[in-house]
Amino acid sequence: MSLVTVVLVEDHALVRQAFRHVLEDNDRIEVVAEGSTGLEAIDLASRHHPDVMLLDLAMPELNGLEAARQISRLDPRIRLMIVSIYRDELHIRQAMRAGIKGYVLKDSAGLDLAEAVLTVAEDRPFLSPSVASLLMDVAQTGKKLDEPEDPYERLTARERYILQMVAEGKSSKEIAHILDISPKTVAIHRSNLMETLGIHGTAQLTLYAVKKGLINPE
């Protein structure tokens, strides 16, 4: 049986190393590359075209869900997985809408990760048992999230990049360098996205990004 190739993107080096050990203990899995940011994830996808990509939800420069959207457009054949600490219905459903095939909780990754990769590689969904139980409970009880229109969905991809990087504390000059645009263009995007979100000031924007799971509050 052919190897399943994997690209692993997680911003904490020790966690990434632990995940790699778990995966490479299975002789059917080969980790071909690693990264630590959402923008790296997109670059690695374009260079390696792996069978499966593992993405953290909260990563620098670009969060896992937005990276997943970009990768799906780049190469729909890549199967995408989230490995995250977030176990609430909102994040799980957002992941599914972004084209995620697997959702594994970090505290159960030692048990679930290799099985999840092999399952997702066959184009079958995989959820950690507690995640599956949550969604089953929601389905059985008829509970439903009150999900008003989210202004975040009206942001362009470029505005989402800038939102996250501003919330991470990067200056307009730093963002301009990363995205290869002018600081003036960054300022225009920043103004537009704040108007769309109804946010005034970097502090509010940072709190918004934390609540959305775009950045890690640690």
Give per-residue pLDDT as tens, 93-125. Answer: 888 888 899 999 888 878 889 999 999 999 999
pLDDT value of residue 144: 55
Cα–Cα distance, 126 to 188 (Å, whole number): 41
Q: What is the pLDDT of residues 169-188, one digit of tens each?
A: 899 999 999 888 998 999 88
pLDDT value of residue 120: 95
Cα–Cα distance, 42 to 30 (Å, whole number): 19
In terms of pTM, does the model score above 0.95? Answer: no
Q: In the chain, which residues have pLDDT < 70?
A: 1, 136-149, 216-218
pLDDT value of residue 206: 86
Q: How far is CA 60 from CA 10, 155, 163, 189, in A?
A: 9, 18, 11, 19
The domains located in the chain, with CATH, are: 4-141 (3.40.50.2300), 151-211 (1.10.10.10)
What SS3 state is found at 95?
Answer: helix
- Number of H-type helices and E-type strands within the chain: 10, 6
pLDDT value of residue 149: 65
pLDDT value of residue 41: 95
